[in-house]
Every structure is written in C-alpha cells, then in structure tokens.
Copies of this chain bind each other. A is one copy, B any other.
Amino acid sequence: MISDKMSGLVKNSSVIRAMFEEGKRLAGIYGAENVFDFSLGNPSVEPPVKIKEALLQILNEESPNLVHGYMNNSGYEDVRAAIAESINHNFGTLFHGENIIMTVGAAGGLNVILKTLLNPGDEVVVFAPFFGEYRNYVSNFDGQLIAVSPNTIDFQPNLVEFEHKLSPKTKAVIINTPNNPTGVVYSEKTIKELALILDKKQKEFRTSIYLISDEPYRELVYDGVEVPYLTKYYDNTIVGYSFSKSLSLPGERIGYLVIPSEVDDFEQMIQAANVANRILGYVNAPSLIQRAVAKCIDAKVDVEIYNRNRELLYNNLLEYGYECVKPQGAFYLFVKALEEDDKAFAGRAKEHNLLIVPGSAFGCPGYCRIVYCVDYNMIERSLPKFKKLAQEYGL
C-alpha cells in the first residue's frame, strides 16, 4: 500500500544504517568489545563543554516562551546575525543575517535548497565518490542525479568529465569538501578550475548553475590544511553547513544555509527557501539549540582526538599493505578493496567482525569506507583483524 517510490527505497534501504543494526546484532552474539563497527559517522568526541554551559545559561536566564517558541521560519534574527558575523570574521566575506537560513541540519538545508531550485527532470551533478543520500534528496524533487566518475589517483574531482556532463538541464552541482567518504579536501586550484568551468557553461547555456557546497566537515581538518570558502570563487554558490560534526551534535539537527546576495534571483531565492523550510514540514530549525550554537559559534570539538585515530589507523593499514589516500579532513578513510568486488570484500571483513561500508554506496565500487570517529581503543583492538584480513588476500 506504500508508494512505488518508497517501495523501491525500502528495498535498497541505506547500507550504512543496515550495518549499524548488524553491528548491534553481532555485539549481542560476540560481546560489544569484539565487534569493530567502522560504519556510521556518529561523532565519538564529546561536544565542547561550552555547549552544555550555553544550554544551561539559556534555560536559566531566557524567557521559556522565547526559547521554545516559534520564530521566523528562517530562524532567530540574532542567531542569524551572529552566524553571518562569524563567517565574515573567519573568511573575509560580507554576509548579513538575511543571507542565513537556519535549517534542520545540513540534510534539511540541502532538501530546502533542492526544493527551491528543481523542476522535475532538472539535473544535479555530483562527483563520485559522494554521500549516497544525495541520490535520495535529488529524487525527492524528481531531479536527476548525474555522477562524474571518480579520479582514484587523489580523489580530487575529475573536471574533464565534469565539463562534458554539464548541460542546459544542469540546475545545480553539489560538492562536499572535506569529503565523505574519502576525507580529501578539494584544493584551491581545483575550486578555481571548477568555478571557471561553471562560469563558462553558464554563459554558453545562458542558464544559472548553482554550486551547492555541503560542508558538515569544514572544521575537521588536519595538518593545517585550508578549506577554501566557496562563495569567494563563484557567485552562484550556496553553502549548506551543519554543527553535527564541529560541535558533536548530530542528533540535534542544527545547521544553516548561506545564500549570498550575489546569487542570481536572490530575492526570490531567499523567500522560496524560507517557504520551503516551512512547507517541507521543518517549519524552523529547533529553537533552543539554535540559541545555543549562536553562543558557541567558534567553539569546536577537540580535533586532535580524531587526528590520533587517523594516524593510528592510516599508518597501520599502510603497513599491512592496504592502499589509501591519506585523509586531510573529516573522519573517514577510503581504502582500496583487496578484491574487485567491494561488497564481497566488506563481507569478508565482516567475518572478522569488522564493519566497513562498500564504496558502491558512494558511487565508487572497488573501495570501502572506514569511519574513525570511534574509540582509539577499538581501533587498537581491531588492528590484528585488519592484518589478518590482509593476510587472507596474500599481503
């Protein structure tokens, strides 16, 4: 009795979530300490203490009707202004509160902007490997997802193929840097080339092509790498941000969109996004946590904890013979599967109670994603298993 679309989706229901459930099952059999769940990006580092302090302060000092009540669908004005100011301070931009729309996480933000933009059949270009949910978000509005094949040398986007895949039907391009699942940060050179191509194609097709930058991992970077702020390179850029990872608040569903005043059709766009936020059923981003993040805007989790995990896992996997680009951000490693079929490889890993996600889920077969936002100790305990797995493949 359910809809045809949902019927298909239930069948292919998220591989990642299925893993999560599988992990719980295996833990029941073998004991939690003997199952190594590297499947779900659920931050393991605690939120900064400032978050708790901010929440307590708001609850104790502000009016409950303000803290828990309706506000403009786009969010509290003071919160939006504080966020604009912080971005300006960090990146030298010139945003105002009116450029910010508070959203139910980055997932909510992406859905808001795709609803705002897409007519049925419009094309949205993504670079493989990409977060699998993009497929569903685009499908929610009957858009068509066009995937550019991966560049497995360094996982920077394949811009030659990109240029060929743009068409008069291209309405948007989604990029995600630092990237899930590779941990790669797109370089400034990449961004500049990407912007040039988009500008050229906009002129050629006489259309607007919006670049949507999905940035939940912006603050999680290592070795001092810089993540370019996209609005500075291409006018038609819209940023989708989330505090899920930077403040370890994924369950709270809090993020924002930046819609710069320079984007084509700005006035219409900002109104439409406001309406989309409402009618998609979000209504507004959750209120108390909106107020809390505004007080912690430049706080972030202790990235060094993830960095230690990264070094431990990356160095050891390399030693065992695995191939992998060293991630510069986020908390994912994207290793080459030790056989052609990544699903079969993930299956073999599971026999060692290692739960990793096949790259096919990200449009990039032949690889697997290993999440390292987990306990350092779990990584340590898992290493002999990774070693044994490699040995089974003759490494």
Nearest CB on B from A114, distance (A): 9
**In the complex, what residues of B have CB within 8 A of residue A2's CB?**
116-117, 265, 268-269, 272
Identical chains bound together, number:
2
B64 touches A55 (CB 8 A): no
Taking a contact as CB atoms closer than 8 A, the residue among B7, B40, B251, B275 that contacts A272 in the complex is B7
Give residues of chain A (268-289) contacting chain B, Cβ–Cβ below 8 Å. Answer: 268-269, 271-272, 275-276, 278-289
A341 within 8 A of B: no
Q: Which 9 pairs between the two chains have the least Cβ-Cβ distance? A: A251-B287, A111-B281, A136-B279, A107-B281, A1-B265, A6-B272, A286-B286, A108-B281, A42-B70
Contact string against B for A residues 299-321, beta-carbon threshold 8 Å, 1 for contact and 0 otherwise: 00000000000000000000000
**In the complex, what residues of B have CB within 8 A of residue A136's CB?**
279
B275 touches A6 (CB 8 A): yes
A105 touches B283 (CB 8 A): yes
Of listed A6, A52, A288, residue having the most chain B CB within 10 A:
A6
Taking a contact as CB atoms closer than 8 A, the residue among B71, B104, B115 that contacts A282 in the complex is B104
A391 within 8 A of B: no
**In the complex, what residues of B have CB within 8 A of residue A264's CB?**
1
Contact A269 B1, CB 8 Å, known A10-B275, A275-B9: yes
Of listed A3, A254, A281, residue having the most chain B CB within 10 A:
A281
Give residues of chain A (39-69) contacting chain B, Cβ–Cβ below 8 Å. Answer: 40, 42-44, 46-47, 51-52, 55-56, 59, 64-65, 67-69
* Cross-chain pairs A/B with CB under 8 angstroms, 10 sampled: A1-B117, A1-B210, A7-B268, A9-B279, A13-B271, A68-B248, A104-B281, A104-B283, A109-B281, A253-B283
A117 touches B3 (CB 8 A): yes
B108 touches A10 (CB 8 A): no
Main secondary structure of the interface of A (DSSP, over half): helix
**In the complex, what residues of B have CB within 8 A of residue A115's CB?**
3, 6
**In the complex, what residues of B have CB within 8 A of residue A5's CB?**
119
B288 touches A110 (CB 8 A): no
Taking a contact as CB atoms closer than 8 A, the residue among B6, B141, B269, B286 that contacts A252 in the complex is B286
Residue of B nearest to A207 (CB): B1
A376 within 8 A of B: no
- How far does the alpha carbon of A370 sit from the alpha carbon of B234 in the complex, in Å? 47
A73 within 8 A of B: yes
A175 within 8 A of B: no
17 extra interface residue pairs, beta carbon distance < 8 Å, beyond A133-B279, A140-B280: A2-B116, A3-B272, A6-B116, A7-B268, A10-B275, A14-B278, A40-B70, A47-B65, A52-B64, A69-B248, A71-B251, A104-B104, A104-B282, A105-B283, A109-B281, A140-B279, A253-B283
- How far does the alpha carbon of A141 sit from the alpha carbon of B4 in the complex, in Å? 12
A228 within 8 A of B: no
Taking a contact as CB atoms closer than 8 A, the residue among B70, B252, B268 that contacts A1 in the complex is B268
Of listed A44, A137, A287, residue having the most chain B CB within 10 A:
A287
A118 within 8 A of B: yes
Taking a contact as CB atoms closer than 8 A, the residue among B47, B56, B70, B253 that contacts A251 in the complex is B70
Residue of B nearest to A49 (CB): B64
**In the complex, what residues of B have CB within 8 A of residue A265's CB?**
1-2
A150 within 8 A of B: no
Nearest CB on B from A94, distance (A): 22
Of listed A4, A248, A253, residue having the most chain B CB within 10 A:
A253
Give residues of chain A (348-388) contacting chain B, Cβ–Cβ below 8 Å. Answer: none
**In the complex, what residues of B have CB within 8 A of residue A51's CB?**
64, 68
Contact A280 B278, CB 8 Å, known A119-B4, A253-B286: no
**In the complex, what residues of B have CB within 8 A of residue A14's CB?**
275, 278
